[in-house]
Homo-oligomer: A and B are copies of this chain.
């Protein structure tokens, strides 16, 4: 009998691949760094590229704060307490108290930069799949924070035509679903420079109380309000359980590299949960806390000079921008950004053209196209953000470049 041979069809063996997580793949590239390779290429061609694209202040870090680290007597750089050094929490509470805010040391959790306070708040206030509402344009990384924490940004548009004021409360209300757990605001705002008034914050508070939402308030630029007094969400009466302050020393003391922030809330149950999250990273950076603690000894008028400098820069930049045909520029009342409308086909294309195809007297400038600050794809295409974190001479040079560029740009409109 001949051997019976079975002819089997060729079947691919199922072998799952080593995979990267979906949430990881979904992360957008940073809106701030997309143009960096073009800027580097321009510098290599010998151009001076004025960096108006990111919020890295050029103001010096107070030498007395650096000295506090440099003179500290440290034998073992030990783990610190999870919530931060008690002495620093106490001095930080006194800082808030001087601003009229009812903050005790126990209300404060020192964080590793403001960014950690955003992560902690989203993890503790929202379940995966939950939503938070944010006025757009907003700080670009909020999108990526949402992806990393399994939550969703729901945007409400604010408009350049009315200085990016708070959108009508009805617009928020329309977007509230059973999954909405928080409203996230930033005041003074990055990227618009808008500062919410007490009346606007009261409206938000009422909304949060009515719908049982957290009010997450990013106040990184608190000190830099040029025209009106600043109102903190922590000052809203009757909202103690709802308000979570997200803070940082980065901009306040020009100490971005220290990575010291804070999360402040009177909601003890929430704080207890966030404390357990914070235990995962054991403690915030010790050396940075020594630096931050020394801020308590700065002279009372420390911010006067810095604020006056930023204000002069703002006034200069806004007046130069407004003198350019077709540019529309609201007056930003706080932070150190200008968000303006350009007479161009596409601000992203224009920003790239500035780096690749343009120069004026050996110079050009790097800007942030505004599309990265919007969740709605159709918005912000003709807007850009400029940071006034360079001195007035540089601002003048950069504005000279921009004025010429807007005349020469092939995609000019209007």
Contact = CB atoms under 8 A, between A and B. Distances in A.
A126 interface: yes
Contacts of A167: none
Contacts of A259: 112, 281-286
Interface stretch (A13-21, A194-202, A397-405): A13-21
Contacts of A281: 112-113, 115-116, 259
Contacts of A29: 276
B280 A287 contact: no
Given A112-B259, A145-B280, A273-B27, A61 B33 contact: no
A272 to B, nearest CB: 9
B119 A24 contact: no
A280 B59 CA distance: 23
A127 B18 contact: no
A18 B212 contact: yes
A125 B21 contact: yes
Copies of this chain, whole number:
2
Contacts of A178: 16
A391 interface: no
A236 to B, nearest CB: 15
**Lowest 3 CB-CB distances: which A-B pairs, in order?**
A257-B286, A287-B287, A24-B273
9 contacts: A18-B213, A20-B124, A24-B273, A24-B277, A60-B75, A61-B76, A70-B71, A77-B257, A259-B283
Interface of A: 15-25, 27-30, 33, 54, 56-61, 66, 69-72, 74-80, 112-113, 115-116, 119, 123-128, 130, 141, 144-145, 148, 150, 178, 181, 212-214, 241-242, 250, 254-259, 269-270, 273-274, 276-277, 279-288, 291
